[in-house]
Structure 1
Amino acid sequence: MTSRTVTGADAAPAASKAAAAYQAGEGGALDVDRAFYDRFAGVRHELVDSFEIPIRSGRAWTVPQGHLCRIVTVEGPQVGDLNVWNLHDPRERMWAARTRQLQRAHISTYDRIWSTLPFLRPLLTVTADTLADYGVDGDGGRVHDLLGTRCDPYVNRMLTGEDFDFHCHSNLVRAVLPYGLTEFDVHDVLNVFQCTGLNDDDQYFMKDCPARVGDHFEFFAETDLLCALSTCPGGDLSVPLWGPDARDPLDVCRPLGIEVYRPDAALLTGWTPPARAAYGNLHGLRRPEFCAGE
């Protein structure tokens, strides 16, 4: 079995040395307490929920604050499209674009997914990633991307002239209906286990999923979460979905497993759930001035 780490002559061209635009000082909002999240590694936790999501479908589930959630490739390579909301206020949901800026375009261990305005806080922190050693391949591909978004039937109709109701967008729409959410609540995704990048023409590309049986992506819930995942109808993406060579990739579609764990309370010592953004929400507007005597 060959390693998935890509180095040396086969590696991508040297990356830009330009500094990241968004930075914080030592101990600031972007400085993750790695020692805290390392507590969960190599420890047996109490399993409180587990299930499989069949091929070309979606499911939503809850992850309580302070719990771990693991997404597993139970039968081999398969891409999953993940949405995340604050369970108690779905107006607060994952913000893919800001997460790309504050963390990176392809996330792994210790990276966080940040929520939308006016909340702007970590919804989850990645605690384990068995594909972390994939690195950067010869095409510049990396794993677990926030570059692209979910496949959807609207683009499919535009490109092919045909309707198909089991794209990730549709899978997620059906998944969240029992929680009172609609198509308008489905948002840009984290493409778990998906290998992507930008080509020389600055165009988005997707490659074969490098995951194997038993690979997993695990995160810690910083607040009570509602999660939804679609098992992408493109399967492991080894078959072109659009263009002259496109065909139905049904034979490369596989289920994904979900496991939710409750860590021992002692492991949470010193952890404080993140507060919403401290900004006062005035946006340059003045507070109303009341009449004298009021």
Structure 2
Amino acid sequence: MTEPVTPAAETAARIAENKRRYEDLKAAGQDHAPRVLPPPTPRGSVLLPPGPVKREVIPPFWYATLRLLPGEAVRIALMDAPSAVSLIAWNAHDTSERINYADTVKIQWTAALGKGRVIFSDMGRVMLSIVEDTSGMHDALVGGSTAASNRRRYGVRPMRNTRDNFLLAAGKLGLDRRDVPPAITFFAPVRTDAAGGFVWQDAPRVAGDFVDLRAEMDLLVALSNCPHPLDPNPDYAAGSVEAIRFWAPEPAFDDLCRTATREAVRGFENLAR
């Protein structure tokens, strides 16, 4: 007599089958990755290219908005103390297309962002390329702080947070809360442990760290300089951050971001259409 299948057994079997399919797809994607990504950029090794630059300092706990044209880049640089800088972006011509951190992770088969990776929109197109990066420790899983996470972490006194900063930034751009997607946070060393939990790694973040992001389409960008919700520092603290806009060098035919993975190639093909 066949034993009845319990709901728990059905759930376990479904999870196992989904995991098997994921691993098969991941293996197929990685088999076609033609290039090995480099280590982080040495601090102080990459100067800004000659030509005009536009600099804006983002004070602790504040935010900034900017418009990036295709081929323009922004360097997000830590000035005087460790900070976590959250980013969201929209297609400037159709703001229903916006950054999608879940697809950025799934399409590239990794949550570890660094030099050579790209950031996807929710329409499968590349919005930003990470062309230089001194850290290699960024968060594409948790997102930025909220009023609730600040209360849990620091107490009841009012403190600025990334979610509210992005609502203000969206309003400045003619958008509202429905237009604010989950963020990617730079200089936030978040990883997952063996049980799938989020952990904050003991990775150095120092003044002089920077990440260079090259715009691949006409973008509206919002940046928020607030402590990350998993930061173990008991104090509500951050340093100033500089956002430096400049024209990136013309991508070569073998540009790392455009050729590192088959999925990135397809994202740029979608963009070209």
If the TM-score is normalised by the length of the shorter chain, which range does it land in? Answer: 0.7 to 0.9
Query: Within 1, Cα distance between the matches of 2:28 and 2:175?
Result: 32
* Stretches (4+) displaced over 3 A: 154-165, 233-236, 268-279
In 1, Cα distance between the equivalents of 2:97 and 2:64?
19
| Distance in 1 (alpha carbons) for counterparts of 2:34 and 2:194 | 33
1:96-245 equivalences in 2 (<5 Å): 96-103=101-108, 104-116=110-122, 119-132=123-136, 143-156=137-150, 162=156, 164=158, 166-207=160-201, 210-234=204-228, 237-240=231-234
Aligned length: 231
- The reply to whether residue 91 of structure 1 matches residue 96 of structure 2 is yes
**Residue 68 in 1 paired to residue 73 in 2?**
yes
Alignment RMSD: 3.4
1:242-283, CA deviations, whole angstroms, 9 ceiling, x for partnerless residues?
Answer: xxxxxxx23x3111110111146xx3576999454799xxxx
User: Quick check: which one's helix share is greater?
Assistant: 2
Q: 1:78 to 1:157 in 2, by over 3 A?
A: closer
Cα gap change, 1:45 to 1:22, in 2 (>3 Å): farther
The unaligned stretches of length 5 or more in structure 1 are 1-17, 35-40, 133-142, 241-248, 280-294
1:258 is aligned to 2:240? no
> Conserved in 2, the CA contact under 8 Å of 1:47 and 1:259?
no
Residue identity opposite 1:206 in structure 2: W
Structure 1 CA distance, aligned partners of 2:88 and 2:114? 16
Distance 2:203 2:166 in 1: 21
Once residues 199 and 181 of structure 2 are traced to their aligned partners in structure 1, the CA distance between those partners, rounded to angstroms, is 20
**In the superposition, relative to structure 1, how do residues 174 and 31 fare at CA in structure 2: closer, same or farther (>3 Å)?**
farther
- Report sequence identity in percent: 24
Corresponding residue for 1:291?
A: none
| Structure 2 unaligned blocks of 5 or more | 1-22, 38-45, 259-266
User: TM-score when scaled to structure 1?
Assistant: 0.67
